[in-house]
Structure 1
Amino acid sequence: MADTPPLKIVQGTALTDAQKKDLLHRLARVEGQLRGVQKLIAKAEHPDDCEGIAQQMSAARKALDRSFVTLLSSALITHTEKATSSEASAESSRRVAALLEKFA
């Protein structure tokens, strides 16, 4: 399977370029972990192999959860810093809080 080309980072107000690069790097690592889990499953021969698979799945899940937290933290920081008034800042905080309630 050929490697996919790197994603083009589009400038906008959602996240800074550095925040996007950090998140994309984190997700690429999670993707690698998941590929490793797939290989472990394919090669599993003994019941004891399940413990190692479970450990790697847990690590991938935690890494994805950490990426989620990083996304929301970055969004909160970016949107609050760019707010032109205290009302706009409060609205940004409410949007991020709603995301937490919905997806966390």
Structure 2
Amino acid sequence: MADTPPLKIIQGTALSEQQKKDLLHRLARIEGQLRGVQKLIAKAAEPADCEGIAQQMSAARKALDRSFVTLLTSSVVTHAEKAATPEESLQSAKQIAALLEKFV
């Protein structure tokens, strides 16, 4: 498979450029883990192979969960830093809380 070109990071208020780079790096590593899991599944020959596959799938799932937490914590920090008033900061915190309720 050919290497894909890096994603263009646009400026915005959601996350800083460094936060985006860190998250994209994490996701690229998870993508590699999942490709490895696919290869393990394709090569599985006996029941004992399933334990190793399950272990790798669990590691990928945990890495994705950590990326989710990183996304939310980065968002909290970014929005708190950019809030001009305590009310704006509170509104941002409420939005993050709503995301947690929705996705966790």
**TM-score normalized with structure 1 length:** 0.99
SS in structure 2 of the partner of residue 12 of structure 1: coil
TM-aligned CA deviation for residue 2 of structure 1: 1.2
Structure 2 letter corresponding to 1:77: V
Mapping of residues 64-75 of structure 1, within 5 Å: 64-75=64-75
Whole-Å Cα distance in 1 between the matches of residues 19 and 25 of structure 2? Answer: 10
Q: Structure 2: 5+ residue runs without aligned partners?
A: none
Query: How many angstroms apart in 1 are the aligned matches of 2:74 and 2:40?
Result: 34
**Does 1:39 pair with 2:29?**
no
Q: Deviations along 1:12-48, whole A, 9 cap, x unmatched?
A: 1000000000000000000000000000000000100
Hey, what's the Cα distance between the residues in 2 that align with 1:84 and 1:40?
51
Whole-Å separation in 2 of the counterparts to 1:52 and 1:59: 11
The DSSP-based 3-state class of the residue aligned with 1:5 is: coil
Displacement of 1:66 in angstroms is 0.2
1:50 aligned residue: 50
Q: CA deviation at 1:3?
A: 1.2
- Gaps (5+ residues) in structure 1? none
The residue that corresponds to 2:4 in the other structure is: 4
Backbone CA RMSD of aligned residues? 0.4
Corresponding residue number in structure 2 for 1:23 = 23
What TM-score comes out, normalization by structure 2 length? 0.99
Moved over 4 A (4+): none
User: Identity percentage over the alignment?
Assistant: 77
